[in-house]
C-alpha cells in the first residue's frame, strides 16, 4: 500500500480538487485507488458525483466495521470515503489512518488522504514510505509559511517524504513567476513542476466530476498526469 497525504499549507489552496483529479488519473493507469476525506468540510465526495445531501461519513460511525459501510465507488471505479458531519479527535483520525491497512486487499493500492490545512501533518501517524505533499499558491502568504514549515521540519524527527507543490499557477503573473523561480532555486523540497490555474477545474467541479472526464485534453489533465508520474517515480526509489 502506498499512502499519499495531501494538504494545503493554508486554507483555499485547492487540495480537494488535486486529490480527486490525481485519484482519477492514477485509476486510469490501472492503479487501485482509495480516496479518504479527513477534512471536516467533507467536500471530496462532490468531485466523485456524490449528491450534496449525502452528509454521512466515517466520522459518524461508531467503529471501523461501521466505517466500511460508508465507502462509495464512483463511475470510474475509484473507491472513496466521505468525512461526515462530526469533528473527530486526532486520536480518531489516526485510528482511521492505521485501520486503512486492513483495506489493502489488492497488491497495487494507493490511498490518497485529503487532509485539512489546520491540522499539522506531524499530528498524524506517518511511516517512512508515506509521501506528504503540501500545496502552496505563489503568493506572499505562502512564501512566509513555506519557510516557517521548513524550520519546523528541521526540528521534527520525521521519516516520511515531504514535498511542496505549487497549485493554481498563473504564468502571466510576474510575481508568481518570480516566486516560483525563487522557490525552485532555493528550496530543497519543492516539486520540479506546478499545477496550472485552469478554468476546467471549476467547470468539472460544477458538474461533480474531474478534469479528465470533462476535458481529457486540457492543460489541467496534463498537469495531473505529470504529478501522477512523478509520484510513481518517487515510490520506486
pLDDT along the chain (237 residues), means of 10: 95 96 92 94 94 91 92 94 93 91 76 95 90 96 94 84 96 95 93 95 91 91 96 86
Residue 168: φ, ψ to 5°: 60, 45
Q: What is the pLDDT of residue 195?
A: 97
Q: What is the pLDDT of residue 223?
A: 96
Domain span at residue 58 reads 2-236
Supply the CATH number for residue 102's domain.
3.40.50.300
Q: What is the pLDDT of residue 191?
A: 95
Q: What is the pLDDT of residue 105?
A: 63
Q: What is the pLDDT of residue 106?
A: 63
CB atoms within 10 A of CB 77: 11
Q: What is the pLDDT of residue 104?
A: 63
E strand or H helix at 113: strand 109-115
pTM of the model: 0.95
Q: What is the pLDDT of residue 159?
A: 82
Q: How far is CA 192 from CA 14, 54, 164, 184, 230, in A?
A: 19, 38, 9, 7, 9
CB atoms within 10 A of CB 51: 9
* Overall domain count for the chain: 1
Amino acid at each position: 500500500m502506498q499512502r499519499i497525504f495531501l494538504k494545503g499549507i493554508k486554507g483555499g489552496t485547492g487540495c480537494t480538487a488535486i486529490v480527486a483529479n490525481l485519484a482519477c488519473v492514477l485509476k486510469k493507469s490501472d492503479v487501485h485507488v482509495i480516496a479518504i476525506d479527513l477534512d471536516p468540510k467533507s467536500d471530496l465526495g462532490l468531485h466523485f458525483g456524490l449528491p450534496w445531501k449525502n452528509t454521512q461519513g466515517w466520522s459518524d460511525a461508531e467503529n471501523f466495521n461501521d466505517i466500511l459501510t460508508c465507502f462509495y465507488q464512483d463511475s470510474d471505479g475509484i473507491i472513496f470515503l466521505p468525512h461526515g458531519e462530526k469533528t473527530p479527535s486526532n486520536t480518531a483520525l489516526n485510528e482511521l489512518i492505521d485501520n486503512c491497512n486492513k483495506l489493502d486487499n489488492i497488491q497495487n493500492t494507493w490511498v490518497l488522504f485529503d487532509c485539512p490545512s489546520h491540522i499539522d501533518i506531524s499530528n498524524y501517524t506517518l511511516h517512512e514510505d508515506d509521501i506528504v505533499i503540501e500545496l502552496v499558491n505563489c503568493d506572499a502568504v505562502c512564501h512566509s509559511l513555506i519557510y516557517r514549515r521548513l524550520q519546523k521540519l528541521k526540528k521534527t524527527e520525521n521519516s516520511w517524504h515531504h514535498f511542496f507543490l505549487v497549485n493554481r499557477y498563473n504564468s502571466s503573473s510576474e510575481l508568481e513567476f518570480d516566486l516560483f523561480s525563487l522557490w525552485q532555486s532555493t528550496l530543497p523540497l519543492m516539486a520540479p513542476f506546478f499545477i496550472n490555474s485552469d478554468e476546467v477545474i471549476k467547470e468539472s467541479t460544477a458538474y461533480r466530476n474531474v478534469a479528465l472526464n470533462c476535458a481529457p485534453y486540457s492543460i489541467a489533465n496534463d498537469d495531473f498526469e505529470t504529478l501522477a508520474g512523478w509520484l510513481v517515480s518517487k515510490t520506486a526509489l
